[in-house]
Amino acid sequence: MLKKLNSKHIAFCEEYVKNFRNATKAYAMAFKVEETKASTRASASKLLKDELIQKEIRKQEQELTETGLDNGLPDIIKFLLDIIHTDTTDLSYQITTTKTVKKADGSFEDEPVQHIFLKDKKDLTPEQRRVIKDYKETDRGSKVITTYDKQWAIEQLLKIQVMLTNNEGDTDINALISDVFKDFTEEDKKKALENIKK
C-alpha cells in the first residue's frame, strides 16, 4: 500500500476519471509509457487496488460531478455526442462515371458506375476528425477510416448520467444527456445498460 500519493499517482487518478475508468490508458498517460504493453496493464491494475488511489479517484469523481461545467465534462460529452451523431457517409464522397456494356440483343448501353472515396483528413471538420479512431492508407493507396464505436459512446454517456444522478451532480448536464436518449429506442438503452453492468 502507498503511504503518500505523488504527482504521477494523482495524474493517474485524474486520467482514470477522464478516460471513463480505463486504468491502462490512465497509467500510460500519467507515467508516460506505452499503452499496449502488458506491463502497463499489470501496473495499472496493481495501482488501482491501492486504498489511497481509490480514495483519490472517489475525490476526483466527486469534484467532477460538483463542478461539471468547469471541469471539462461538456468536452467529454461533446466528444461522445460527436461519435453518436456522425454519419460515416459524411466522411466520404461519391463520383459517378459511366461504363459501356453490351446488352443481350448485341447493342451497347452506358450504365452509371458509383465510386466512393474517403475524404482526406484535411477536408474533414474538427468534429469529424475527432471521431476517427484510426486512419490508414493501404499499399494500394486506398484510405481506410475506423471511427469510435457508437454503442461504446452510448454506454459512456449512460455511465456519466448514472454518476451524475448518484452524486447529485450538475442537473443541466444530466438533462442534456437525458435529452440525447429521448430519441433512442428502449431496446438500445437496455442493450447499453446491460453492457455497462458486465
Rounded CA separation 50/193 (Å) = 28
Q: Is residue 21 located within the same domain as residue 76?
A: no
CA distance 39 to 58: 25
Say yes or no: 80 and 173 in one domain: yes
27, 78: one domain? no
Q: Are residues 33 and 80 in the same domain?
A: no
Q: Which three cell numbers stand for residue 179?
A: 435529452
Global confidence as pTM: 0.46
How many domains does the chain contain in total? Answer: 2
Is a pLDDT exceeding 70 seen at residue 16?
yes
The contacts of residue 137 (CB under 8 Å, 6+ apart) are: 143, 144
One domain, residues 182 and 137: yes
Computed from CA positions of residues 86, 187, 164, 52, in that sequence, does the dihedral angle turn out positive or negative?
negative
78 and 61, same domain (yes or no)? no
Residues 6+ apart with CB under 8 A from 129: 121
Q: Are residues 57 and 78 in the same domain?
A: no
| Residue 168 Ramachandran class (φ > 0 left, ψ -120 to 50 alpha, else beta) | left
Secondary structure (DSSP) of 66-105: HHGGGGTHHHHHHHHHHHHH--GGGGEEEEEEEEEEE-TT
Residue 76 and residue 16 share a domain: no
Q: Is residue 95 part of a domain?
A: no
**Residue 183 covered by a domain:** yes
- Whole-number average pLDDT of the chain: 77
Which residues are CB-contacts of 9 (< 8 A; sequence separation ≥ 6)?
2, 30, 47, 52, 53, 56
Residue 64 is predicted with a pLDDT of 62
State pLDDT tens for residues 60-86: 877 765 544 444 556 777 788 788 877
The answer as to whether 133 is a domain residue is yes
Share of the chain above pLDDT 90, in %: 16
Residue 146 phi/psi, 5-degree rounding, is -115, 125
Residue 53 maps to which CATH number?
A: 1.10.10
Residue 158 lies in domain? 72-88+125-198
Which three three-digit cell numbers place residue 103?
446488352
The C-alpha cell at 2 is 502507498
62 and 76 share one domain? no
Calculate mean pLDDT across residues 141-158.
78
